[in-house]
Chain A
């Protein structure tokens, strides 16, 4: 049995850590997806008219990827704590 002071109602400490890490990844993943959706479609719109914008479009599209990378870092930190 786990100690009620250090664990949640259903999970022990390791479980809570895993849950925290998964939330960090899941929420930042969704946030990146939402941000990239609009930037990606906008980039394709611009590229449809001017193919030369491919490079810029690609870079701008992946910038929100940093959000999920931060999430990954936080998840790893939680896991290793």
Chain B
């Protein structure tokens, strides 16, 4: 019957956003996440951390939010490895907590966003297997914050070759792409995985109608722009000018940047063109063609992205944005701590380590 088909047919009759069933608990989740954000390391603690040795830093984070993780793993690891494992474990548990405390629409968006860690893990596994890293080394870099569990990831890490890893991912959405991996095109596969993630995320958001999804889209688009801009700067600095070499590396769906136009310009014109964008205030002064490294520029852009998401989270307090804001700030904290650990371990100067940090 046509009426019943309309009611129960495969095509959803609802034209608005795809939505997970159940109501969202915005008030609860957002307030809890704000309380969690207040526990992130304050910016004053970074100069202190830079003055410490590895053991002192481990002790410092043992007294902070990472206590349980360090205690749990202290039997198995030590030094920098302990910190690395503790950071990854904490990140995974924190993101898992976010998935658990959100419901409905909110949960749907958070889960879609956190799929980036599945991509991260797949990349880690492929890189690890390709370069014959030990299982321990691979496990150290896995962050089980996405849909794949740590157990399933460890099983994949224990496989002997990358072909077996790919076979192990047979029932995932990434398999068709991973089949194209032949051991020589890792960079291509990694780029495509990233693009696939963003395409999947935009598809999950659908055509944003609610305020929530509009803001969510804005933050994601901003992130895409920042990533594209960093890549464009790297490519321009490396002297890559061919449009057909640059464009495959760009992610589609940015907020403001017209990547095709920017990619075709020479360095000076490219910088001039950027003056008309919202990113100029953040990067003006560090875009000279004679700069030795892009570190400052990259950290300024990342800082701009972090600050923008915080501003948006204040503009619309009861939406998904404060949660997104927390996710990226937490990730930034873990990245900062990792940089300090690894920097200290390899004996880099404090000044060099400080340049890499994004302190906010």
Q: A and B: partners?
A: yes
8 Å CB interface, B29-53 against A: 29-36, 38-39
Minimum CB–CB distance for B255 against chain A, Å: 30
8 Å CB interface, A14-70 against B: 38-39, 41-46, 48-50, 53
* Interface bin, chain B: 10 to 19
Say whether A46 contacts B35, CB under 8 Å. Answer: yes
Minimum CB–CB distance for B8 against chain A, Å: 34
Q: Does residue B25 face the partner (Cβ distance < 8 Å to A)?
A: yes
Residues of A within 8 A of B39 (CB): 49
Say whether B31 contacts A43, CB under 8 Å. Answer: yes
Q: Does residue B77 face the partner (Cβ distance < 8 Å to A)?
A: no
Residues of B within 8 A of A43 (CB): 31
Say whether B36 contacts A42, CB under 8 Å. Answer: no
Say whether B27 contacts A39, CB under 8 Å. Answer: yes
Q: Does residue B175 face the partner (Cβ distance < 8 Å to A)?
A: no
* Interface bin, chain A: 10 to 19
Residues of A within 8 A of B27 (CB): 38-39, 41-42, 45
Of chain B, the residue at the smallest CB distance from A43 is B31
Minimum CB–CB distance for B88 against chain A, Å: 22
Q: Does residue B188 face the partner (Cβ distance < 8 Å to A)?
A: no
Say whether B35 contacts A53, CB under 8 Å. Answer: yes
Minimum CB–CB distance for B33 against chain A, Å: 8
Residues of A within 8 A of B32 (CB): 45-46, 48-49
8 Å CB interface, B93-107 against A: 101
Of chain A, the residue at the smallest CB distance from B29 is A45
Of chain B, the residue at the smallest CB distance from A48 is B32
Distance of A46 Cα from B25 Cα, bound (Å): 13
Of chain B, the residue at the smallest CB distance from A49 is B35
Residues of A within 8 A of B101 (CB): 45
Distance of A61 Cα from B263 Cα, bound (Å): 54
Residues of B within 8 A of A50 (CB): 35, 38
Say whether B28 contacts A44, CB under 8 Å. Answer: yes
Residues of B within 8 A of A53 (CB): 35
Interface 1/0 per residue, B135-161 and A, CB below 8 Å: 000000000000000000000000000
Q: A45-B101, A49-B32 are in contact. List 20 more A-B contacts (CB 8 A).
A: A41-B25, A41-B31, A42-B30, A43-B31, A44-B28, A45-B27, A45-B28, A45-B29, A45-B32, A46-B31, A46-B32, A46-B34, A48-B32, A48-B35, A49-B35, A49-B36, A49-B39, A50-B35, A50-B38, A53-B35
Q: List 13 A-B contacts (CB under 8 A).
A: A41-B25, A41-B28, A42-B27, A45-B27, A45-B28, A45-B32, A45-B33, A45-B101, A46-B32, A49-B32, A49-B36, A49-B39, A50-B35
